[in-house]
């Protein structure tokens, strides 16, 4: 089997204008970035706002393990398969971050014969959206320190500046830093730090904004710190929102690319789901729904994080509602949830599979709590045995959910046609009736408790009195209607990444809360989760480079 990058490089790419034509778009609707990728113009996005919408399919998964799940690969394979069976389908994905690409993952554009191309560009700088987001974020940070340096008319309390700088890289050394050392000409020293760009409120704002005016209004509402009277100071107070909007003007336009099978894909935005809200942009999703009869999109990590935020934040904010949900699982990952070491996963072990299937069961039941029909995609590995497949089918049958074996990684869209038929049937039955987990009026702390108990299986949530006091203050200040965005380990239903399966009765420790007034949610940081990841002992960057033909190698 060829590597992912070899398969992607050997694929026959069509000019991006031909991909656009499949969506009834013309050259004037595009801003080309070379021959194989383009942005959709603001004009075409605005023109399509009131067009009839297709069916929306959300792809989510079990909790990630080192054994692999393949959510993006399945999203691409399903989109290709829907087109193969005669449906007009568009795929909507998030943009990969350089941080994990050079860290653990090595790439995030699908795998095998279910990939999005050009994968090298998508995995690296692409169309510059993340650079624009980082620049807008850091412009605001620079204007804060500059304002303080030149007299501090807004009376910033430098101990209460909350806005941090960002970089799209895993760099633990930047988590906590001191700025403005070196004397008076460099400003006033203070403690601050960096987050990864995908955790930035600017990223969330770009992904939730519906147009340029909404983008500017959201940027203006960003709270960057507090004055000496403990009153909030916003980006608008600093007169930074206009320049930030200018930096993000092109980045707000969705990116059009293609699959290996030359089907259209919109890739736009990329917040992580463990530390941010985990969904691609509203603009891309709504535009795709106006262009296709079926739209396949994904939410980051497991359904406890990405899908929960897709429903409770994205759908709540902009009126979206999925028609069907696909939960991706692998037999290997479920055996790992059942206690099997990674080195032993190739051996048949039906008992461990049954034990580990509790993870899948809880994810299915969680999605069903939202009133949505579910189908399970078993992402096939060559080590899967007939006995193991039968066990997993039985587990799903007992829940009244169909499980479908998919071979899209090795066969492309042809390997997911059965899944495509099942998804289309679910979506066309119009049985989905989205029920959000909590009402806007529920107090903030009770929203946190509701998610922890109903989605994570927790007994309760713990927090320092300062956290509870902060939530009460935001409640009183008019932010109580906002949803909450849980920042928690992706590896477990608990806050302990080693607690696999479906732990219950645990306590979710809340360490910190942050107000994202522009994005429109409260970030709740749990356990030891970091908003700036670090590189692993052996980062993927060590194996990425150029070959003798000056082609990029090492991405996956």
433 is in an annotated binding site: no
How far apart are the C-alpha atoms of 428 and 425, rounded to whole Å? 5
Q: Does 413 belong to an annotated binding site?
A: no
Q: Any known ligand binding at 68?
A: yes
Q: What are phi and psi of 94, to 5 degrees?
A: -85, 160
Cβ burial of 254 (10 Å; 0-12, 13-18, 19+) is buried
**Residues tagged active-site:** 71, 73, 94, 105, 273, 301, 381, 409
What is the distance between the alpha carbons of residues 150 and 435, in angstroms, rounded to a whole number? 51
65 appears as a binding residue in the annotation: yes
- Laid out side by side, the sheet with 223-227 consists of 156-161, 223-227, 232-234
Q: Which residues pair with 266 in a beta bridge?
A: 92, 256
66 marked as part of a ligand binding site: yes
CA gap 507, 495 in Å, rounded: 8
Residues 6+ apart with CB under 8 A from 532: 170, 171, 172, 174, 175, 193, 194, 195, 196, 199
Q: How far is CA 495 from CA 314, 461, 490, in A?
A: 23, 11, 9
∠ at Cα 483 (514, 208), nearest 5°? Answer: 90
- Pick from 475, 554, 468: nearest CA to 513: 468
Whole-angstrom distance, CA of residue 75 vs CA of residue 59 = 6
- Which residues have CB under 8 Å from 550's CB, separation 6+? none
Helix (H, G, I), strand (E, B) or coil at 230: coil
Query: Is 70 marked as binding a ligand?
Result: yes
Binding residues: 65-72
Binding residues for ATP: 65-72
């Amino acid at each position: 089997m060829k590597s992912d990058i070899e398969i992607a490089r050997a694929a026959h790419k069509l000019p991006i204008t031909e991909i656009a034509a499949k969506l009834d778009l013309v050259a004037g609707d595009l801003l080309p970035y070379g021959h194989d990728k383009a942005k959709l113009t603001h004009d075409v996005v605005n023109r399509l706002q009131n067009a009839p919408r297709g069916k929306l399919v959300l792809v989510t998964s079990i909790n990630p393990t080192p054994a692999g799940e393949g959510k993006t690969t399945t999203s691409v394979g399903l989109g290709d398969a829907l087109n193969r069976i005669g449906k007009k389908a568009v795929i909507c994905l998030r943009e990969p971050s350089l941080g994990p690409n050079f860290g653990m993952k090595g790439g995030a554009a699908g795998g095998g014969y279910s990939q999005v191309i050009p994968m090298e560009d998508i995995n690296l700088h692409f169309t510059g959206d993340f650079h624009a987001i980082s620049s807008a974020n850091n412009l605001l940070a620079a204007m804060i320190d500059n304002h303080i340096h030149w007299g501090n008319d807004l009376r910033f309390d430098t101990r209460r500046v909350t806005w941090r700088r960002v970089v799209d890289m895993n760099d633990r050394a930047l988590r906590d830093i001191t700025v403005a050392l070196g004397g008076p000409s460099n400003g006033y020293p203070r403690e601050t730090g960096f987050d990864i760009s995908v955790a930035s409120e600017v990223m969330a704002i770009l992904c939730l904004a519906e147009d340029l005016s909404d983008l500017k209004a959201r940027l203006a509402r960003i709270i960057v710190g507090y004055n000496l009277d403990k009153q909030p100071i916003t980006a608008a107070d600093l007169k930074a929102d206009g320049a930030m909007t200018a930096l993000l003007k092109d980045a707000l336009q969705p990116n059009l690319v293609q699959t290996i099978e030359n089907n259209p894909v919109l890739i736009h935005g990329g917040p992580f789901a463990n530390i941010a809200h985990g969904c691609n942009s509203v603009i891309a999703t709504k535009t795709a729904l106006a262009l296709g009869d079926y739209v396949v999109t994904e939410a980051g990590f497991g359904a406890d994080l990405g899908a929960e935020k897709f429903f409770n934040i994205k759908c709540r904010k902009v009126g979206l509602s999925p028609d069907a949900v696909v939960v991706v699982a692998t037999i290997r990952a479920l055996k790992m949830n059942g206690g099997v070491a990674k080195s032993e996963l190739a051996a048949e072990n039906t008992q461990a599979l049954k034990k580990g299937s509790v993870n899948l069961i809880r994810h299915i039941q969680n999605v069903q709590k939202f009133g949505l029909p579910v189908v399970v995609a078993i992402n096939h590995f060559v080590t899967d045995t007939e006995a193991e497949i039968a066990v997993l089918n039985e587990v799903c049958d007992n829940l009244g959910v169909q499980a479908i074996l998919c071979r899209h990684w090795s066969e492309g869209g042809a390997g997911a046609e059965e899944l495509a038929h099942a998804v289309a049937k679910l979506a066309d039955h119009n049985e989905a009736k989205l029920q959000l987990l909590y009402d806007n009026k529920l107090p903030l702390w009770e929203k946190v408790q509701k998610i922890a108990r109903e989605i994570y299986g927790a007994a309760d949530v713990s927090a320092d009195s300062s956290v509870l006091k902060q939530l009460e203050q935001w409640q009183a200040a008019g932010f109580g209607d906002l949803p909450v965005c849980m920042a928690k380990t992706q590896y477990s239903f608990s806050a302990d990444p080693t607690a696999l399966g479906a732990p219950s009765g645990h306590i979710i420790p809340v360490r910190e809360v942050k107000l994202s007034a522009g994005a429109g949610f409260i970030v709740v940081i749990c356990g030891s989760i970091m908003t700036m990841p670090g590189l692993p002992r052996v980062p993927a960057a060590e194996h990425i480079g150029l070959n003798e033909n000056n082609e990029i190698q090492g991405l996956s």
